[in-house]
Chain A
Amino acid sequence: MAVIIELEDVKINYEGETLPSINLRVEEGEIVAIETERDLYDRALNDFFVCENLDFSGNANIFGINLSKTDNLSIQEIRKNLSLISLAYPLVSNLKLIENVYLTYLFHSDEPEKKIFEKAYRIIDSLGIANKFNLNPAFLTNFEKKLALLARTFMVNYKVLILSRFFSDLDDSKKQFLVDKILEQKKLNDKIAVIIIERNIKLLPMIDFDKIIKV
């Protein structure tokens, strides 16, 4: 399997602090956990993976792109193939749930709007939130917002799915529901790699991780 993320002795500078050195190698199809010590580390990792903050030392490659030599096009390429789900990157507040779900696809594809709407509706229906399709995010519960974020990701094609603090504050049945949906999606394309960033990975016993690293 091809290596899609390779971090060697990477030290991220974020909000005036430097994170401990990170060594990580993610191959296609792997499920990897990153256990973090602090909130700041989660935010730093999120912003690093989506190229919002590239202030770092060490050697970092994502999809073969050297992160110390990026330009607008290469950043777009990374963001296109890497889907980050976190409440820190929320739904757009002035769009309805269904509009949030199909926004990315609508923006990047030429398909007719009706077809895009139907696809989005099928996805939110499979996640059990179709009855809320017309509501703004302010009227959704935290769990429903997480489902909507998941639906937004399922609308597009990606190679890496990063779930950052996605399972926090959820009971076991809800965690299981989300894990089942993610693994179900992964079965459709077994090359998709999944990275889970959480404070305590032991709270996710239902996932069989290929690797666990601590930051």
Chain B
Amino acid sequence: MIKVFFENLFNRYLGKPYNYISFLVVVIDSTINNFPKGIKAVERVTLKQIYFTGIEAVKITLQIGFFMGIVVITQITSFIKGLGGINLVGKIITIAIVREIFPLLIAVIMIARSGTAITSELALMKINNEIKTLRILNIDPLYYLIFARILGFVISITVVTVIGTATAILSGSLTIYLIQKISVSDFFEYFFINLNIFDVTLFLLKCFFFGIVISTICSFYGLSVGKSPTEIPQVSTKAVMSSFFYVFLINVILDFMVLIWQ
């Protein structure tokens, strides 16, 4: 019964992890076989992906970072101050904001905003025979379309997460200055003293893996569409569900790995 439940869950909504891994391996293999041929064309697709996923997402990231920073940092600070441990503020903010909340939050925004766009765009291209067209023009779609998207996505999610995190810390520091009268320089002192190589590594690892996972899963579902446009919303839903699941799973795995490493 439980086995059937999990089989259904994976088959219908989450997909099998080895499908995504073998898809990524094929994309990497195509890239190795083609590189450096067509690098200028691939560069254009990558830059477009960075524009749509990164640059266009900066505004919403700044807004969310600003408000989340106010809420999270104010709450943490007032709680810690109540316990009389203001020197712990930096440590807890580092863990909460840098390690956990922001990489996940931005990943969720990216799945909803750009992951679905990748899936539906690729699905439409496949239904319109455009993928086939690229093949007959001797342009490997896995290299030209997918590798470029994965690369652009990883770069974008990393930069956007850095921007979101920095905004949250900045807005939080200003808010606690106004409410709790903790000076901004004290706040940053606590923060930077507690920010260590593990935090930065984990932050970057999360950005990297979340980027790879989201772009790979969304591309996989985009190319898995059949012949009918009615399949596009179906594959988009599967891509979103699956991306959420694997992003949260990787988040847990990375946290445990760093815990063991530390």
Contacts and interface: CB of A to CB of B under 8 A. Distances in A.
A, B in one complex: yes
B136 A52 contact: yes
A25 interface: no
* A: interface residue count bin: 20 to 34
A80 B37 CA distance: 14
Contacts of B132: 52, 89
Contacts, number: 54
A107 B128 contact: no
Given A90-B133, A92-B134, A104 B139 contact: yes
Contact of B138 (A79, A88, A93): A79
A90 B41 contact: no
A50 B133 CA distance: 10
A106 B40 contact: yes
A107 B130 contact: no
Interface string A60-95: 000000000000000010011000100011111110
A113 B129 contact: no
A107 B139 contact: yes
B88 to A, nearest CB: 50
B59 interface: no
A92 B133 contact: yes
B133 A108 contact: no
Interface in A88-135: 88-94, 99, 103-104, 106-108, 113
Given A79-B137, A103-B137, A107-B139, A93 B128 contact: yes
Contacts of A113: 40
B225 to A, nearest CB: 15
A92 B133 CA distance: 8
A104 B144 CA distance: 11
A107 B41 contact: yes
B144 A107 contact: yes
B81 interface: no
Contacts of A89: 129, 132-133, 136
B137 A104 contact: yes
Nearest to A104: B137
Contacts of A106: 38, 40-41
A104 B40 CA distance: 11
Nearest to A50: B136
B238 to A, nearest CB: 22
A84 B41 contact: no
| Residue of A80, A88, A103 with most partner-chain B CB within 10 A | A103
B132 to A, nearest CB: 6
Nearest to B48: A94
A92 B128 CA distance: 9
Contacts of B7: none
A107 B38 contact: yes
A165 to B, nearest CB: 14
Contacts of B44: 99
A94 B138 contact: no
A94 B134 CA distance: 13
B40 A94 contact: no
Interface in B120-146: 121, 124-125, 128-130, 132-139, 144
Contacts of A93: 124-125, 128, 130
Interface of B: 37-38, 40-41, 44, 121, 124-125, 128-130, 132-139, 144
Interface of A: 50, 52, 76, 79-80, 84, 88-94, 99, 103-104, 106-108, 113
29 contacts: A52-B136, A76-B138, A79-B137, A79-B138, A84-B136, A88-B129, A89-B132, A89-B133, A90-B128, A90-B129, A90-B130, A90-B133, A91-B133, A92-B125, A92-B130, A92-B133, A93-B125, A94-B125, A103-B41, A103-B137, A104-B138, A104-B139, A106-B41, A107-B38, A107-B40, A107-B137, A107-B138, A108-B138, A113-B40
Given A107-B38, A107-B138, A107-B144, 18 more contacts: A50-B136, A52-B135, A52-B136, A79-B138, A80-B138, A84-B136, A89-B129, A89-B132, A89-B133, A90-B130, A92-B133, A93-B125, A93-B128, A93-B130, A103-B137, A104-B137, A106-B38, A113-B40
The 10 closest A-B pairs by CB, nearest first: A107-B38, A89-B133, A50-B136, A107-B41, A104-B137, A106-B41, A79-B138, A107-B139, A92-B130, A76-B138
